Amino acid sequence: MNIKDYGFFYGTEILAAGAIPARIIAVHRGRYGIVSEYGEGSAQLKSREYYYEGETFPTVGDFVLIDHNTEGDSRIIKTLERKTFFSRRDPDKGRGEQAIAANFHVVFIIQSLNHDFNPKRLERYLTAARQSGAEPVIVLTKADLTDDYLPYYLEVSRVAEDVKCHIVSAKTGYGMEELYPYFENGKTLVFLGSSGVGKSSLVNALAGEEIMDTSGIREDDSKGRHTTTHRELIMLKCGAMIIDTPGMRELGMWDVTSGLGDAFSDVEEIVQKCKFRDCRHGSEPGCAVRAAIETGELDPARFESYMNLKREAKYSGDVTERRIQKTEFYKNVAMKKKNKNKVIY
Binding residues for ligand GDP, per CB under 6 A?
A: 141-142, 144-145, 169-171, 193, 195-201, 214, 216
Could you tell me the smallest distance in angstroms from the CB atom of residue 144 to ligand GDP? 5
Q: From the list 281, 302, 310, 323, which residue makes contact with Zn ion (rule: CB under 5 A)?
A: 281
- Contact status, residue 77 vs residue 66, Cβ threshold 8 Å: yes
By CB under 5 A, tell whether 267 contacts Zn ion: no
Closest separation between CB of residue 113 and ligand GDP, Å? 9
Question: Among residues 25 and 248, whose Cβ is nearest to ligand GDP?
Answer: 248
Q: How far is the CB of 142 from ligand GDP (least distance, A)?
A: 4
Shortest Cβ distance from residue 266 to Zn ion (Å)? 15
Q: What is d(CA 118, CA 74) in angstroms, rounded to the nearest whole number?
A: 45
Select the binding partner of residue 138 from ligand GDP, Zn ion, none (C-beta < 5 to 8 A, by kind).
none
Q: Which among 242, 315, 255, 265 has a CA at the least distance from the CA of 131?
A: 255
User: Cβ atoms within 10 A of the Cβ of 313, count?
Assistant: 19
Task: Determine what percent of the chain falls in helix, strand and coil, rounding each to the nearest 5.
Answer: 40, 20, 40
Q: Which does 281 bind (CB under 5 to 8 A by kind): ligand GDP, Zn ion, none?
A: Zn ion
Q: Which amino acid would we find at residue 338?
A: K
CA 315 to chain centre: 19
Residue with Cβ nearer Zn ion (64 or 289): 289
Residue in 165, 289, 298, 313 binding Zn ion, rule: CB under 5 A: 289
Angle of CA points 63, 61, 101, to nearest 5°: 130
Contacts of 1 (CB under 8 A, 6+ apart): 35, 36, 37, 38, 39
Query: Taking the complex as a whole, how short is the minimal distance between the CB of residue 157 and ligand GDP, in angstroms?
Result: 22
